[in-house]
Amino acid sequence: MLEVKNLHVSYGNVQVLHGIELSVDQGEIVTLLGANGAGKSTTLNTICGLVRPTDGEIRFDGEAIHKLPAFKIVSRKITQAPEGRRIFGTLTVQENLDLGAFTSRNQHRVKKSLEWILELFPRLAERRDQLAGTLSGGEQQMLAIGRALMSNPRLLLLDEPSLGLAPVLVRQIFKTIRQINEAGVTVVLVEQNARVALKLANRGYVMEVGHIVMADSAPALLENPDVVQAYLGAGDL
């Protein structure tokens, strides 16, 4: 479904991705692991078109999308819930969700998406008319994910959905990610919280300073001694 080949990205003179190769199949949950600055968010932002690659290509269902501007990627059915949530704080929850469906023309479809999202996140239903900036961190993350689902995407990119959330909320969010995936949405998940991510994912990639250093099935990565030592540690969730 998604093919990333030989992806190079630079910010000014600093090269941050050195030939990333990854692929995602329909229906999978794939996780990208790695330390801060490994290039995980950059990879997602390049797929979304916010960052232009200097070399390499990104194909979605065979179509090269790495030259498209970000706003056109959405209608290819790829959306992202970005790092730090990036919700529109001075707009209401409902307006945030409406913006998620900005490119959708089919009002019936939008209504169904909205119903589904409010079912996934009942808390958002209670707070529809509230300003998004007044939501708690967990609710804001729900809104960010819900907003990304409004356009009925086939591929959902999630950047650190557990960031800054209490463990009980992390479990809840991850449970919902599984539900979203079971509804047919393919998921690429960037996470610091490697153990939770690998338990959820089918496959994982490990990134280090702009390279992919490991690619394997999630259960295999969970038992890989290098991964355990570097990213899992002891006494994690």
Judged by the rule CB under 8 A, the positions of this chain that interact with another protein are 48-50, 69-72, 74-75, 79-80, 82, 86-91, 95, 98-100, 102-103, 147-148, 151
How far, in Å, CA of 18 to CA of 211, rounded?
6
Residue that has been written with the tokens 């692991």 in this structure: 33
CB nearer to another protein: give 114 or 214: 114
CB nearer to another protein: give 54 or 75: 75
Tell me, what DSSP letter sits at residue 91?
S
Q: How far is the CB of 13 from another protein (least distance, A)?
A: 15
Going by C-alpha positions, the residue among 52, 51, 1 that lies closest to residue 24 is 1
Q: How far is the CB of 121 from another protein (least distance, A)?
A: 18
Q: How far is the CB of 66 from another protein (least distance, A)?
A: 15
How far, in Å, CA of 237 to CA of 123, rounded?
24
Q: How far is the CB of 50 from another protein (least distance, A)?
A: 6
How far, in Å, CA of 110 to CA of 104, rounded?
7
Q: CA end-to-end span of the chain, whole Å? A: 32
Asked if 181 contacts 197 with a C-beta cutoff of 8 angstroms, the reply is no
CB nearer to another protein: give 63 or 182: 63
CB nearer to another protein: give 154 or 171: 154
